[in-house]
Amino acid sequence: MNNGNNTVVINATINIPSMHCVNITTRAGPHRVCYPGTASADLWLWASSISYPTSLGGGNWTCTLSLTNSSMYKPVDLTSQFNAIETFMNKLINESEVSRELIYPNVTVPSYKLPNPTPNGYHQRELSD
Q: What pLDDT, in 10s, does the model give residues 21-45? A: 888 888 888 888 888 888 888 777 7
Please tell me the pTM assigned to this model: 0.36
Cis peptide before 117 (omega within 30 of 0): yes
The string of DSSP letters for 81-128 reads HHHHHHHHHHHHHHHHHHHHHHHSTT---------SSPPPP-EEEEEE
Q: What pLDDT, in 10s, does the model give residues 83-126? A: 999 899 889 888 887 887 788 777 776 666 656 665 565 444 55
Each domain of the chain, given as residue ranges in start order, spans: 2-128
> Strand pairing partners for 127?
43, 67
